[in-house]
Amino acid sequence: MTGSRLRLRSALFAPASRPELLPKLPRSGPDGVIIDLEDAVAPAGKERARPVAAAAARRLRQEHPDLAIFVRVNGVGTEWFEGDMAEAVVPELTGVAVPVLESAAAVETVAERLEPVGPLDVIAGLETVAGVERAAEVLRPPVMAAYFGAEDYIADMGGVRTPENTEVLYARSRVAVACRLAGALALDQVVVALRDEEAFCADARQGRALGYKGKLCIHPAQVPWANGVFRPSAAALDRARRLLDLYAETQRTGTGAVAFEGQMIDEPLARQARALLAAAED
């Protein structure tokens, strides 16, 4: 399944060390779930969490056949990577999320480790200065999507996070552009305020404006908020249809430029409207 065909308006993380939570992940309505062996699991518990992740993936696939199911392994080069790939990655998965990918060589290593399991997609974590700057190098098959990790990126930069997100605008934009060029799905940064709907939606709207197609979620409450932001509203769809109807009429009659709700309609605006309608059909 390629990034252009996979819909992930919301991707909900949960720790692989919490087996009682994993079967409940679909309840909030995410497009995808990510069973996490990396940040959400303490080093002492990572080995024990691997069979839990594999069993949860099998159960979720059986009970929710249309759900996108991923396991996030520990990074290439860490002491846990090989064991994660050997024990937690199973054919029932949609794919594997791999954090801190920074080179084509690392992607090749991931692809080699996936060969015994079969064709699975890869979500690349672009969350360091090197990863962001080499995004074009990383976004190659089997990578079909990438997420921008703002918190790790700023830690790597030695910067400071602010509610305005100005400090990550360059990197966040660079990842979105690289995904667009590669035909990969762009997944936006997490919001660490777990239950702040206003902050989450404002952040998600920024991401959507930059070209991201979905949002990473770290709490079930965030899932419907992400789905709402990345699902075009009825009013927006109606406006897009009316704009395209008027634009088609101008093209047919050769009347030239025409105003629509105070804006001059041209081909770029028409393309935006078509993209909005296409997103609603996914």
Question: What is the pLDDT tens value at each position of the chain, 282 positions in all?
Answer: 444 467 899 999 999 999 999 999 999 999 999 999 999 999 999 999 999 999 999 999 999 999 999 999 999 999 999 999 999 999 999 999 999 999 999 999 999 999 999 899 999 999 999 999 999 999 999 999 999 999 999 999 999 999 999 999 999 999 999 999 999 999 999 999 998 999 999 999 999 999 999 999 999 999 999 999 998 777 888 888 888 988 888 888 877 677 888 888 888 888 888 888 877 776
| Domains observed in the chain | 10-230 (3.20.20.60), 234-281 (no CATH)
Contact assessment for residue 195 and residue 173, using Cβ atoms and an 8 Å cutoff: no
3-state helix, strand, coil in the chain (%, to 5): 50, 15, 35
Q: What's the pLDDT score for residue 2?
A: 41
Return d(Cα 120, Cα 211) in angstroms, integer.
25
Q: Please work out, in degrees rounded to the nearest 5, the angle formed at the alpha carbon of residue 156 by the alpha carbons of 74 and 114.
A: 25
Strand runs labelled E in the chain:
10-15, 32-36, 68-72, 95-98, 121-126, 143-148, 185-188, 214-217, 259-260, 263-264
What pLDDT is attached to residue 4? 42
Residue 282's pLDDT is what?
64
